[in-house]
Amino acid sequence: DPYHDEVHCQLMGWHLAAGDKVSALRIYTRYLDTVASELESPSPTQMRELHKRMLMGKETG
């Protein structure tokens, strides 16, 4: 489901745990593009927080 934010957060977390920040960011960007263009909705809070932690270098927790 391209709109299921919890699944996307899990995928992002798995990539981060494996040290693959690029793939995690790619998942976030792709999800954000889909939601913005098709649903005209902002990204969920949980995803924004995970994205913010990635950018700050806090990949876990």
H helix count then E strand count, the chain: 3, 0
Q: pLDDT for 14-53, tens place per residue?
A: 999 999 999 998 998 888 888 777 766 666 677 777 778 8
What does each C-alpha distance from 57 to 1, 17, 37, 38 come to in angstroms?
A: 28, 12, 28, 30
Residue with tokens 């098709």: 38
pLDDT for the residue 41: 63
Kindly report the pTM of this predicted structure: 0.63
What's the one-letter identity of residue 36?
A: A
Q: Which of 18, 17, 16 is CA-nearest to residue 51?
A: 16
